[in-house]
Structure 1
Amino acid sequence: MRIFVFALLFCFSTSLAGAQPVPDLGPEAAPPSAEDFNPLTEDLPEEGGKVAVGEGDPDEEQDKLDELFADLAEAEDPKAAARIARNIQIMWMESGSATVDVLMSRAGKAIQAEDHALALDLLDVVVILKPSFAEGWNRRATVHYMREEFGKSLVDIERTLALEPRHWGALSGLAIIQRRLGFEGDALETFRRALEVNPGLENAVKAIEDLEKDAEGEPT
């Protein structure tokens, strides 16, 4: 993964040097919006300046997460799948540190206010305090992407996937950047990986269809 990411970074810097325009990939590849961070401030309510977090056994929590992923892969009802995916995301947000959770909540509010600089300052502290917290790296990767700092986003995506290879948000982000850099084959494979983890990703389905048509030489 590390070699691949830095290969992407090299190609990305080369494309910038050549002043190549970034293609418009349509809505499925659009940067995340502030509305995507609404759950961040709702899932972990602040109480007396602190965020309420669980203190469960890490092994038990991992087992629960594994069960949820298994249920998600087998879910046939879209509403049930959405509930399972939501539960996984809520578990991803549980860092085990009240300080980190407060910083994550404030970073989410900063993103909603379109204050990306403040969000990055907060998330920089998050990844320093809790480097094993995959969601901290993922959120910072997302903000970098929103700022079109794709190289920095790739580095944080790598860290996210090293900690949680099943993180469909990080996989989707990687696929989008791969596609923007012209690595359509790699993007197709990464979107497929994301869809295997979470079959309910409609944007991934659309992107896969478009990339497969492009690979066959058909107009999208």
Structure 2
Amino acid sequence: MLNGMKRLALALMMWPAAVLADCPPDPYQGPELDAVVARFPDAPDAGVALDLHNEMWRVLTDAPDQTAQDYLDAGIERLRMGDFPAARSAFDALVEYCPVYAEGYNQRAIISFLEGKYQDALPDIDSALGLLPHHLGALTGKAMTLIALGRTPEAQDILKQALALNPWLPERSLLNSPQGEEL
């Protein structure tokens, strides 16, 4: 835990200097994510789909440079510990430093969702999806957020988009009526 706190403190101390630096765009993340997502429909079973799911998250959490990775890792660690203010600070610094990295927005949206601030989660989710339209975590997060806001018809449309990309998603149980074949 102390190591994580030290990393967060270091990342936050670097924040002013990091803002002056340029976060490099990651030319591989979009194509890498697309390649993983394209394999979901051909997954023969839930086990293979889970392996692809893990590969998807490996791609999504591979930040464009070490500074962005430090912010992301520190934020995720604090989020896991339930320290939402510290996690939000790390993700705010990540988004400020690297506004072209979708996962910073997605992680910040997760905090808003967990805090029950559903309306606050939507702009971050939309930012993540604007950068990576096939971000399945953001898509399912948006569907769950819309459900929490009572916007079920919109949520159903988003779920259908997500399930078109990955028919193995556990969130398929939230779909009101099955699409096509039984999932």
- Pair 1:137 & 2:113 matched: no
Runs of 5+ consecutive residues of structure 2 not aligned to the other structure: 12-24, 179-183
Give the total of aligned pairs.
Answer: 158
Match of 2:137 in 1: 169
Change (3 A) 1:65 1:174: closer
Q: Provide the secondary structure at the position in 1 that maps to 2:163.
A: helix
- Pair 1:199 & 2:164 matched: no
**Counterparts of 2:161 and 2:91, CA distance in 1:** 27
Match of 1:101 in 2: 69
Deviation at 1:125, TM superposition (A): 0.2
State the AA in 2 paired with 1:170. Answer: A
Change (3 A) 1:129 1:80: same
State the AA in 1 paired with 2:174. Answer: A
Runs of 5+ consecutive residues of structure 1 not aligned to the other structure: 1-40, 51-56, 214-220
Q: Provide the secondary structure at the position in 2 that maps to 1:165.
A: coil
Deviation at 1:94, TM superposition (A): 1.2
Deviation at 1:185, TM superposition (A): 1.4
State the AA in 1 paired with 2:173. Answer: K
Match of 2:79 in 1: 111
**Counterparts of 1:129 and 1:157, CA distance in 2:** 18
Question: Which residue of 31, 56, 64 maps to 1:88?
Answer: 56
Match of 2:150 in 1: 182
Deviation at 1:182, TM superposition (A): 2.3
**Counterparts of 1:111 and 1:61, CA distance in 2:** 23
Deviations 1:140-173 (A, max 9, x none): 0001111111122111001011011111111112
> Equivalent residues in 2 for 1:1-220 (5 A)?
58-59=26-27, 62-202=30-170, 204-208=171-175, 211-212=176-177
Match of 1:5 in 2: none
**Counterparts of 2:58 and 2:133, CA distance in 1:** 17
Q: Provide the secondary structure at the position in 2 that maps to 1:188.
A: helix
Q: Provide the secondary structure at the position in 1 that maps to 2:177.
A: helix
8 Å contact kept, 1:144–1:152: yes
Q: Provide the secondary structure at the position in 2 that maps to 1:158.
A: helix
Deviation at 1:65, TM superposition (A): 3.0
**Counterparts of 1:179 and 1:62, CA distance in 2:** 28
Change (3 A) 1:169 1:118: same
**Counterparts of 1:65 and 1:212, CA distance in 2:** 28
